[in-house]
Amino acid sequence: MKAHEKIPKVIEALDQGFTDDEFIEKFQEMFPKEWQNVNRRYNQHERLTKEGKSHPMPEPKKYLLLKSHKYLKQVRDN
């Protein structure tokens, strides 16, 4: 299942008016393996990046919110 399929499922499982933190917690609960993968990729970037340099991947929570932005915006605009 791809992210564009998982994110709506998480949103459907939440009560209307949910916060970003509630969304992240529910994603972690529903898709723990995928959450571990995101964290693993982030940690790989951190490890492989030379000291004093930055890498393009945001922190896992920020990454998930960026991936889900259009879905969250649709729900919150209604």
From its phi and psi, is residue 15 left (phi > 0), alpha (psi between -120 and 50) or beta?
Answer: beta
d(CA 51, CA 55): 11
**42 and 59 Cβ atoms separated by less than 8 Å:** yes
- Predicted TM-score (pTM) of this structure: 0.88
Which burial class, exposed, middle or buried, applies to 68 when counting CB atoms under 10 A from its CB (0-12, 13-18, 19+)?
buried
Q: What confidence tens digit (pLDDT) does each residue in 1-26 have?
A: 888 899 999 999 999 999 999 999 99
Q: Where are the domains of the chain?
A: 33-41+56-78
Q: What confidence tens digit (pLDDT) does each residue in 26-53 have?
A: 999 999 999 999 999 999 988 888 888 8
Beta strands in 2-56, from DSSP E residues, in sequence order: none
pLDDT of 78 > 80? The answer is: no
